């Protein structure tokens, strides 16, 4: 039976792979009237479930209450400003942008109009990442000392039905590159360990992929609480793989995407124990959960788990990482 969250109208700007996912998920969890802004021509099926227009101006004539911004990264902020000026609560796909241009302008509008905002970083809704956060808060492994996080994937496998060279992830002008595209890991590291003090990194184009952005990054993040985070990101590993290993004074926590188990190592007992196992995990689960959270927060007029303010912080971390790589020295966030 469909779980329903009754509201009015929602505008989805952009109908690439993530825009399609959001529309499909909205259809499954809500009774919202959906409006889609896209210049794509393959929208015959979409028109059975949504009103489709080619411009934001046309869409806004439908008087939507909320907006999902899922167009190219470089267009996120300008799009958000247009929607925020009309009083729409906003779900913004990650990353917020590829620069800080007009971010303060958007922030001012959001505050003035008291809009609800949420960043589309779905790993915060992954049950294993949520479990890890809970374990840290309960000091299950004592004081955290360091963390090693990695995210590896083969770019052409992202959307095998289309030319990877044309996607935003492969193009500098659209805000692509591994660091911005895989901001998920930076976001959840910030969520787990709080503010970053400074970063150092090395990144660049090292594979034979036909792209004009970095496909590899190795980063060190020093958090204000003295935790050291190591982050590895690449566009060329097969199969896809994510992992997180956290070391504390009393043990370790480990998770990876192959097994979807959260394991803890007890130094006194000298053995590993499984704290959580997620069988047959479906990636869409976290996307559905983040939309449910956003819609519920809009309904209750309460702050989301990952609002615009946090999106700005995460973007500043990313830009510091890119600057540190370019300058080959430590950069403060």
Q: In this structure, are residues 11 and 37 in contact, taking their beta carbons and an 8 Å threshold?
A: yes
Whether 324 and 178 share a structural domain: yes
Greatest C-alpha distance within the chain: 64
281, part of any domain = no
Question: Do 137 and 85 belong together in one domain?
Answer: no
Same domain, 239 and 130: yes
Residues 207 and 253 in one domain: yes
Task: For 153, list phi and psi in degrees, rounded to 5.
Answer: -165, 160
Whether the CB-CB separation of 12 and 18 falls below 8 Å is answered with no
The answer to whether the beta carbons of residues 183 and 76 sit under 8 Å apart is: no
Q: Is the pLDDT of residue 6 over 60?
A: no
Residue 110 lies in a domain: yes
- My answer on whether 222 and 115 are in the same domain is no
Residues 158 and 299 in one domain: no
Is residue 157, in this structure, part of any structural domain at all? Answer: yes
Query: Confidence band (pLDDT; 50, 70, 90) for 2?
Result: very low
280-329 tens-digit pLDDT: 999 999 999 999 999 999 999 999 999 999 999 999 999 999 999 999 99
Instruction: Give domain status of residue 1, yes or no.
Output: no
Q: Give residue for tokens 């803890």.
A: 264
Residue 173: per-residue pLDDT: 93
Q: Could you give the CA distance from residue 79 to residue 198 in angstroms, rounded to a whole number?
A: 30
Assess if residue 282 is contained within a domain: no
pLDDT above 90: residue 200: yes
Range of the domain at 103: 9-122+287-307
Q: Are residues 267 and 142 in the same domain?
A: yes
Does residue 3 lie within any of the structural domains? no
Instruction: Using the predicted structure, report yes or no on whether residue 3 has a pLDDT greater than 80.
Output: no
* Same domain assignment for residues 88 and 197: no
Domain count, the chain: 2
Q: Are residues 196 and 76 in the same domain?
A: no
- CATH code for position 173: 3.30.360.10
Domain assignment of residue 295, yes or no: yes
| Domain shared by 173 and 222, yes or no | yes
Q: How far apart are CA 151 and CA 140, in angstroms?
A: 25
Q: Are 29 and 3 in contact (CB under 8 A)?
A: yes
In this predicted structure, what is the pLDDT of residue 109?
A: 98
Q: Are residues 112 and 129 in the same domain?
A: no
Q: What is the mean pLDDT of residues 13-32?
A: 96
Q: Is residue 148 part of a domain?
A: yes
């Amino acid at each position: 039976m469909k779980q329903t969250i009754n509201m009015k109208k929602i505008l989805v700007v952009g109908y690439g792979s993530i825009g399609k996912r959001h529309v499909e998920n909205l259809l499954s969890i809500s009774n919202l009237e959906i409006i889609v802004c896209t210049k794509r021509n393959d929208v015959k099926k979409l028109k059975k479930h949504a009103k489709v227009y080619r411009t934001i101006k046309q869409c806004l004539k439908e008087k939507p209450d909320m907006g999902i911004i899922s167009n190219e990264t470089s267009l996120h902020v300008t799009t958000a400003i247009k929607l925020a000026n009309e009083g729409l609560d906003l779900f913004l796909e990650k990353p917020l942008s590829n620069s800080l241009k007009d971010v303060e302008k958007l922030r001012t509008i959001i505050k003035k109009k008291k809009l609800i905002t949420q960043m589309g970083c779905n790993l915060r809704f992954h049950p294993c990442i949520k479990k890890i956060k809970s374990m840290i808060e309960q000091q299950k492994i004592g004081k955290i000392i360091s963390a090693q996080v990695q995210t590896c994937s083969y770019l052409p496998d992202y959307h095998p039905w289309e030319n990877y060279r044309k996607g935003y992830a492969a193009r500098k002008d659209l805000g692509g590159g591994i660091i911005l595209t895989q901001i998920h890991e930076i976001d959840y590291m910030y969520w787990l360990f709080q503010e970053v003090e400074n970063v150092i990194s090395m990144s660049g184009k090292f594979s034979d992929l036909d792209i004009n952005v970095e496909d590899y990054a190795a980063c060190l993040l020093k958090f204000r609480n003295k935790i050291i985070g190591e982050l590895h990101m690449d566009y060329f590993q097969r199969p896809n793989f994510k992992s997180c290993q956290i070391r504390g004074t009393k043990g370790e926590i480990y998770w990876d995407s192959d097994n979807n188990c959260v394991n803890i190592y007890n130094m006194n007992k000298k053995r590993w124990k499984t704290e959580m196992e997620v069988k047959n995990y479906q990636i869409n689960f976290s996307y559905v959960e983040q939309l449910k959270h956003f819609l519920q927060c809009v309904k209750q007029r309460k702050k989301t788990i990952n609002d615009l303010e946090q999106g700005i912080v995460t973007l500043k971390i990313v830009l510091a990482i890119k600057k540190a790589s370019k300058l080959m020295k430590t950069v403060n966030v």
